[in-house]
Every structure is written in C-alpha cells, then in structure tokens.
Amino acid sequence: MERTGCAVVGGGPAGMMLGLLLARAGVRVTVLEKHRDFLRDFRGDTVHASTIRLMDELGLGAGFRSLPQSRLSNVAVPVPGAGLVTLAAFDSLKPPYNYVAMMPQWDFLDFLAAAAAKEPTFSLLMESEATGLEFDGGRVTGVRYRADGGYRDQVLHADVVVAADGRHSVLRRAAGMRTKEYPVPFDTWWFRLPRHLSEQGEVAGVVPSLGDRDAMIALNRTHYYQMGYLAPKGSDAAIRAKGVEWFRQRVAALRPDLADRVDSIRSVDDLHWLDVKLNRLRRWYVDGFLCIGDAAHAMSPAGGVGINLAIQDAVAAAERLAPDLRRGRVRLRTLAAVQRRRRMPTLVVQAVQRIMHRVIFVPLFAGTLSGEMLAGKGQDGGRSRFPVQRTIFFILRHNPVIRRLLPRVIALGPRPEHAPGFARPLAVTPPTKLEPMTSPTDTAADTAAARARLLELIKELAVVRGKVILSSGAEAHYYIDLRRITLHHEASKLVGQVMLALADDAGIDFECAGGLTMGADPVGTAVMHAAADAGRAVDAFVVRKVQKSYGMGRQVEGPSVEGRKVLVLEDTSTTGGSALTAVEGVRKAGGNVVAVAVIVDRDTGAKEKIEAETGVPYLFAFGKDELGLS
Ligand SMILES: Cc1cc2nc3c(=O)[nH]c(=O)nc-3n(C[C@H](O)[C@H](O)[C@H](O)COP(=O)(O)OP(=O)(O)OC[C@H]3O[C@@H](n4cnc5c(N)ncnc54)[C@H](O)[C@@H]3O)c2cc1C
C-alpha cells in the first residue's frame, strides 16, 4: 500500500510551495501533478514582493534572482493625451521588496521543484492525475490517481489530502464541495507574436491597451510576446466565426506598434481560450481534506494577484499542518485554522476584483468606457459620465494616502505570510537592501529597454529644432538640451542605467563618476544610484570650473578621488572642452581617469580631441544618427 503524510494534488504555485515547506518540516509529502512538466500555456507571470521576501527567508533568494526575470517598478495605464499614468509605484516602497518580479511561471515552478527535491521526505509524481478521493467513513484517507497515462487508478493513502489542483478542482467536486460563483464579464484568449531581436524590451511590457469593447496585454518573453486578448464572456464562438483576418485587425488596432507581425497568427486555432472564473468555497475543508489556492477560491486575472494568494495559502497551511503531520493525525480544527487565517485576504482581494470588474470591465466591454473618458476627455469632456469611475481614477492618481498605500497592498497583499521557523535555514539573513538580478539575459533585456526608452525621451524632450548659436560660436539647425533629460523624473534613472551599462560593456572598471559642474552633475549622481541598485559602490563627484580660492581650495568636491579609478562624464560634447577641464581637475586631485563618457555625441570631433589629449577612451551612449539629426 502506497502511503505518505501529506498528499498534495496539483503542482502549481500553491502545491509546489506547500510541498517544499512540509518537506523542510521533515514531513513525508507527495505532490501529484497531471502534466509531464511545468511548461504550459500562460497562467500568470507575477511574483510579488511578499513571495520574493519568502524566497529570501527560505534561503533561496540568490537562486531566485538568477532566474530570467524583469522587475516591474510600477503599474501604469495608458490614458490618451496623458501618456502612461502610474497608479501604483512599487519603487516608492522600502527596498529590497519594492518591485514585482515578472518571470515565466514554469521557471518559478521548476525552481521550487528543484529546491524541494533536495529534501529527503519530498516526492514529486509528474504525469499523475488525481481522479478521486478515498474515504473511510466520513474522513478522507487518500487520493486515487492515474499515473503515466495508465488506465487503472492507484491509491495513495495519506494523513491529509490537500487539493491545490486549481480552478477546475476535481477533488473539490469529489469531496462534494460547491463554490459560490461571482459573475465575470470577460474571458481571455492567449496567443503569441514574434519579438524581434532588435526590440529587446522595447515594445511590450505589461501595459494594457484599452479598445472598443476589448483590451489587450502583452508580456515580454525572450523570443516572443505573450499576448492576452480580453473580450466579453461568451464571445469565443463569435470571435472564431469572424475569422483570423478580423482578429489580426483588432490586434493591429489595439497595438499599432505590433501590426507588422499579425500575419504570424495563422488561424483562430492559434488562440487559446481561457474561461475566467471568480468563485470561492464557503468551507475549505472536510475531515482529512483541505483546499487551498484557486481550488478554494478561483481568482480573476484582474490585478494579477492569484499566484501570490495561492502561495500565501500554502505557507499558512504548512505552518499549521506540520505539527499535526508530525504526530500522524491531522485534526479538523487545524484545517479550520488554515481557512480562518486565509479567509480575510481572500475576501478582500476578491472584493477588489469584483469592484474592478464592475467599474472598469463591465462598461469597457459594453463599449461605453474608454481611456479618454477616465481622463475626463470624452466628447462632453467626460464630465457627466462615469462619475464613480472617474472619481476612483482621480483618487488613485492624486490622493497621497492612497498613492502610498496602493503599491504596498498590491506588492505585499493583505496579511502577507512569513516562512515558518522550521523551513528557514539556520545561517540565512535576509537582505536589507535591493539585491541585483543575476540573470545575464534579462539584465541585457532591461538595459536594452532602458536604452530604448531613454532614446525616445531624448528625441521627445531634448532635441530642439531651429537655428541656434552654440556656446562654441558655431551655428546649428538643432540644439540638444540634455538638462531636460538628466533632470527629468523618469529619464534620470534611465541615464544612470544606460551610462553604467555603457562603461561595463566597454570593460571600464571605475569607482568614482562625475565631471564638470553643472552639466555632468546629474549624470554622475544617476550613475551612482544605478550602481547602488546593482549592489555596487560608486561615488559621485563634482569638478568646479575654477579651483576654490578659499576654504580647502578644492576643485573636485565629494568623496576623495585620490588614487581611485574615475569615469569622467558629460551630458553632451561639442568641442570636448568641458570634459577636458574635468579630466585635468581630476588628475590634479590625484584621480586616475579611466575613460570619458557622454550621453549624446554630436559628431563634432570631440571624440578624436579627447582621446588624443587625455589618452583614455571616449564613449557615448547615442550618436546623432540615432537621434535622427544627421
Ligand atoms: C488568464 C489568467 C491570467 C492570470 N494571470 C495572473 C497573473 O498575471 N498573476 C497572478 O498572480 N495570477 C494570475 N492569474 C491567477 C493565477 O493563475 C491563479 O490564481 C494561480 O495560478 C493559482 O495557483 P494554484 O496553485 O492554486 O493553481 P494552478 O496554478 O491552477 O495550479 C493547479 C495545478 O494543478 C494541476 N492539476 C489540475 N488538476 C489536477 C489533477 N486532477 N491531478 C493532478 N494535478 C492536477 C494543474 O496541472 C496545475 O499544475 C491568472 C488567471 C487567469 C485565468
């Protein structure tokens, strides 16, 4: 007879986390997963701050950060005429848990499976599909399952069976449990579009596009975009009847920047329909049996928090089940305690999702709400319509308390759980500052995305066309005002990332960054902050135009550059004069200049002059061709 302590059915986020934690408690645990691997269609990519903190508490933080991922620092919606409006800025939270990680769910599940496999009491049975429950009197005593596509059921006896088998839970039904269903106004259709190498992170992100009775989101994957089309519930047959050409046109209308590749959708068979549900059980357990995650409460994708909630359920369940499992008998009241602990977060999140459905999705899919109206820019100025929606939107954008609370609520969730003591390795101290991602692929993608966005901002904000006389006296038909970039709230951070990557790519190792005041000042501090975000120590400095004749008579201000490797920065250069003055000042202060780097090179001979006079390489992030100025 096959026997285990805890039989967990479902190798999703809830099941894998529960398996890992119980195994760390030294309890025998067997996870059954019906698929042969974790690679399957889209089920959400978000790993929230509370789960990232959990990874650190479990001593898995370094491994987690080495998985291909990108970091979401805010939630924004496109509002016509107002650009991207940020609703929740995660980067306003205290580091290191001030972001949401985006990673393919299969990578995350593989990672949990590998960590659990190190525990001697853990077993994972893939291609093992649960078909029903075993009862003894009124108590559940095991699970029936079919392995490797076989025809005969096998039985796994257990002290407790946990259903983590998702929204269509077979075991929930087998236990005679019924869910309370809430109406959901939309379904999703998943499909892929190719991602050109040259785009890197440029065109997608998680930004939703709102259309006329439909919407779309796009998520970056390494070689393609994972697209989600949202339309009214019940329209699958109608969409398929309209045919692929109609669908391609909708995609092109919602994302004109991706219109060049809609032909890659070969037929409507490429669309994977997902029936979105929002429901929950009144009681999550019967004797010997417990439901967690979507099996207990199916979550809508609205807000993208279902994975986090499922994981937090698993943590709460592990903490309460482990002592009973060690004793070999799981009490009914222990199962009740799990539900009591997780009921409030579930109610809160589902209530918010239902409000989102009612105030955003219902009118959107009825064709009566658009981004313009939210921003009060509809035909009648939007004043008379959607007062509730516009008030909520206004509060989200402008109320300081909500702006502080919202990112916290999304990133951490209500009642976030901490790793139980038995699951924490002895010698692990969770980080206190933001740790860098160590995945080479996505660091590259992040830099490419930062570079693309910075270029866009420079073109939009800094290039001033018309006849101008430059400081050198020469005449030009355009002018680049990079202070509008280096002092800009969004661009400043990108400047730091891009300049740091520029030096790294050129193999320049440096400890101090700065240049001649004032053009170089914000560039130096941006690089310093970007380096700190990447866990590196780079000091900034400022070179005065002339040496001070009073006080300590210094020309270079800030932490001393003496004997240190220095990167001299400038925003842009015409004659190279400012950079040369800065190099001279740094050298007089005892610094070892290793390179000169500017954001924009105007191709006016600065490179040749600086390299000849200083003997160090001259780097630039953007040439004038890229700005369309040649
Ligand atoms: C379209 C869509 C998009 C979403 N996007 C997001 C998002 O971006 N972020 C987010 O946080 N949440 C998102 N969600 C919600 C999220 O997917 C779920 O809340 C979360 O996956 C629940 O985790 P779980 O482990 O409880 O269940 P699941 O992730 O559903 O895992 C259940 C597992 O059980 C296995 N299984 C099922 N039946 C059996 C059986 N009989 N025997 C053995 N194994 C079985 C399945 O193969 C699966 O591996 C989205 C939901 C939908 C519908």
391-404: per-residue pLDDT in tens?
776 777 677 777 77
From 210, 242, 274, give the residue that closes a domain.
274
Write out pLDDT tens, residues 579-617.
999 999 999 999 999 999 999 998 888 999 999 999 999
Same domain, 493 and 556: yes
- Distance, CA 166 to ligand 1 centroid (Å)? 5
Comparing CA positions, the residue from 572, 557, 569 lying closest to residue 485 is 572
**Mutate which of 18, 34, 36, 43 to test ligand 1's pocket (most atoms within 8 Å of Cβ)?**
43
In the predicted structure, residue 460 carries a pLDDT above the cut 90: no
Provide mean pLDDT across the span 160-186: 94
Residue 465, classed as helix, strand or coil, is strand
Please state the pTM of the whole predicted model.
0.70
Provide mean pLDDT across the span 14-37: 96
Contact call for residues 308 and 413 (beta carbons, < 8 A): yes
Task: Tell me whether the omega of the peptide bond preceding residue 96 falls within 30 degrees of 0, making it cis.
Answer: yes
Give pLDDT, residue 215. 84
Max avg pLDDT among 204-218, 372-386, 410-424: 410-424
User: For ligand 1, is residue 522 a contact (CB within 6 Å)?
Assistant: no
Structure tokens, 380: 């009648």
User: For ligand 1, is residue 130 a contact (CB within 6 Å)?
Assistant: yes
User: For ligand 1, is residue 305 a contact (CB within 6 Å)?
Assistant: yes
Structural domain includes residue 342: yes
User: For ligand 1, is residue 208 a contact (CB within 6 Å)?
Assistant: no
User: For ligand 1, is residue 363 a contact (CB within 6 Å)?
Assistant: no
Domain coverage including residue 228: 185-274
Structural domain includes residue 369: no
Contact call for residues 263 and 248 (beta carbons, < 8 A): yes
- Distance, CA 310 to ligand 1 centroid (Å)? 9
Same domain, 596 and 450: yes
| Angle ∠(106,111,115) on CA atoms, nearest 5 | 150
Provide mean pLDDT across the span 43-63: 90
In the predicted structure, residue 334 carries a pLDDT above the cut 90: yes
Distance, in Å, from the CA atom of 239 to the CA atom of 246, rounded to the nearest integer, reads: 8
- Distance, CA 294 to ligand 1 centroid (Å)? 7
Structure tokens, 604: 């006016």
Q: For 218-277, give the secondary structure using H, E and C.
A: EEECCCEEEEEEEEECCCHHHHHHHCHHHHHHHHHHHCHHHHHHHHHCCCHHHCEEECCC
- Distance, CA 106 to ligand 1 centroid (Å)? 11
Distance, in Å, from the CA atom of 287 to the CA atom of 332, rounded to the nearest integer, reads: 6
Structural domain includes residue 560: yes
Q: Of all protein residues, whose CA lies closest to atom 6 belonging to ligand 1?
A: 44
From 337, 355, 373, give the residue that closes a domain.
355
User: For ligand 1, is residue 165 a contact (CB within 6 Å)?
Assistant: yes
Give pLDDT, residue 440. 47
Provide mean pLDDT across the span 530-551: 82
Give pLDDT, residue 403. 74
Give pLDDT, residue 550. 64
Lowest-confidence region among 15-19, 182-186, 225-229, 438-442? 438-442
In the predicted structure, residue 533 carries a pLDDT above the cut 90: no
Q: Of all protein residues, whose CA lies closest to atom 31 belonging to ligand 1?
A: 12
- Look over the chain and give the mean of its residue pLDDT values, rounded to a whole number: 86
Contact call for residues 184 and 357 (beta carbons, < 8 A): yes
Structural domain includes residue 430: no
Give pLDDT, residue 332. 97
User: For ligand 1, is residue 48 a contact (CB within 6 Å)?
Assistant: no
Torsion of CA 470, 474, 475, 477, to 10 degrees: -60
Which residue is listed with tokens 């898995």? 60
- Distance, CA 12 to ligand 1 centroid (Å)? 6
Lowest-confidence region among 39-43, 107-111, 204-208, 287-291? 204-208
Write the CA distances from 430 to 121, 418, 426, 555, integer angstroms.
Answer: 26, 12, 12, 41
Write out pLDDT tens, residues 107-154.
899 999 999 999 999 999 999 999 999 999 999 999 999 997 777 889
Lowest-confidence region among 150-159, 255-264, 513-522, 620-629? 620-629
Comparing CA positions, the residue from 11, 22, 89, 141 lying closest to residue 402 is 89
Give pLDDT, residue 185. 86
Report the number of distinct structural domains present in the chain. 3
From 241, 274, 307, give the residue that closes a domain.
274
Structural domain includes residue 48: yes
In the predicted structure, residue 371 carries a pLDDT above the cut 70: no
Q: Of all protein residues, whose CA lies closest to atom 2 belonging to ligand 1?
A: 301
Same domain, 129 and 225: no
Give pLDDT, residue 627. 81
Q: Please say whether the dihedral angle defined by the alpha carbons of residues 517, 519, 520 and 526, taken in this order, is positive or negative.
A: positive
Structural domain includes residue 94: no
**Mutate which of 72, 165, 190 to test ligand 1's pocket (most atoms within 8 Å of Cβ)?**
165
Structural domain includes residue 324: yes
Write out pLDDT tens, residues 341-362.
999 999 999 998 888 888 777 7
Provide mean pLDDT across the span 185-210: 69
User: For ligand 1, is residue 288 a contact (CB within 6 Å)?
Assistant: no
Q: Which residues are part of a known binding site? A: 544-545, 548, 570-578, 602
